[in-house]
Amino acid sequence: MNSMTGFGAATAPLASSTLRIEISGVNRKQAEVAISLPRAWAELETRVRDLITQAISRGRVNVTISLQQNTGTSAGLTLHRDKLTALKTQLQDVELTLGTPVETTLDALLRLGILSEETEADITPEQAWEAAEPAIREALDAFLLLRAREGANLKTDLLARIATLRGYRHELIDRASGVAVRHRDTLMKRLEEAGLPLPLDDERIIKEIALYADRCDVSEETTRLGSHLDQFCTICEKDEPVGRTLDFLCQEIFRELNTTGSKANDAELAQLVVSAKTELEKIREQVQNVE
């Protein structure tokens, strides 16, 4: 079981700068990949997307690729030789015209564009990809590892809450088994208070209790509920994306609880159903983070 949240980062040297890769993820119903990279390398987006989509099946993944200048070094300067050659020719003409030598400074070369800081445009997409691909894979491995660790924590929490639901199910079964008897006792008491006492073996009493017991029978619901809880635990052990399946099971569990509460016609049993629904809602919230 994997979570959809995670983070991974990696760096790689590129020319005289450093390439930084950051991958982060949050929960989404479908798989979404958002990629941010320098405009000069826009053609690499498809390759990056292919790497990510091969590794995830659900969730929004943000990938950021940036080029960072190394601090404390002048290695990030690029010399434009064609411009320098043209400038040299022009300076020679100026010197011949003036009859005096012309001096140049580093500041002047920078302003004229002869020297410039290295940018993404100075690096071809293929050069960038050669450095970026292994760094993306490294960041992706770290991202997936964190998702797996978070998924293990989610699994522990979910299984503990399912155990709590099992406890509520057993209480529901115990309480439901006595609903017909309690209704009979209440009915007999009301008849007696109204001055209309009837024997327990009266046909009308037996028929009323039988109809009531049939209407309030929740054995099918509790049986299906137990099956859904078993399936939930089994699916949690699978080594594959299970978020959508668990989300569907949560809907089925809610349906059985809802039907049980509406059929039982018993205050204490209704309170047990409310408590079980509250626990189920916590499970559903956690499942939204499962891939």
For 257, the enclosing helix (H) or strand (E) is helix 243-264
Give the distance, in angstroms, between the CA of residue 81 and the centroid of all CA atoms in the same chain.
Answer: 51
**Per-residue pLDDT reduced to its tens digit, 250-268:** 999 999 998 888 776 777 8
Residue whose tokens read 């009837």: 198
pLDDT at 51: 93
For 71, the enclosing helix (H) or strand (E) is none
**Residue of higher predicted confidence among 34 and 264:** 34
User: Could you give phi then psi for residue 116, rounded to 5 degrees?
Assistant: -145, 155
Mean pLDDT of the chain: 81
pLDDT at 86: 75
Percent of the residues in the chain that have a pLDDT greater than 90, as a whole number: 44
pLDDT at 186: 62
Q: Whole-prediction pTM value?
A: 0.69
Alpha carbon distance 278, 261 (integer Å): 13
Residue whose tokens read 């989610």: 154
Residue 196 has pLDDT above 60, yes or no: no
Residue whose tokens read 């050069």: 127
Q: What is the DSSP letter of 70?
A: P
Closest by Cα among 161, 150, 147, 156 to 236: 156
Q: What is the mean pLDDT of residues 188-200?
A: 58
Predicted confidence band at 75 (pLDDT cuts at 50, 70, 90)?
very low
Residue 269 has pLDDT above 50, yes or no: yes
Pair 291, 2: CB distance under 8 Å: yes
Predicted confidence band at 74 (pLDDT cuts at 50, 70, 90)?
very low
pLDDT at 16: 74
Alpha carbon distance 127, 19 (integer Å): 11
Alpha carbon distance 149, 210 (integer Å): 54
Least-confidence region, from 12-21, 29-38, 93-102, 214-223: 214-223
**Per-residue pLDDT reduced to its tens digit, 118-177:** 555 567 889 889 999 999 999 999 999 999 999 999 999 999 999 999 999 988 888 776
pLDDT at 221: 82
Residue 253 exposure: Cα atoms within 13 Å on the Cβ side: 30
Alpha carbon distance 257, 168 (integer Å): 10
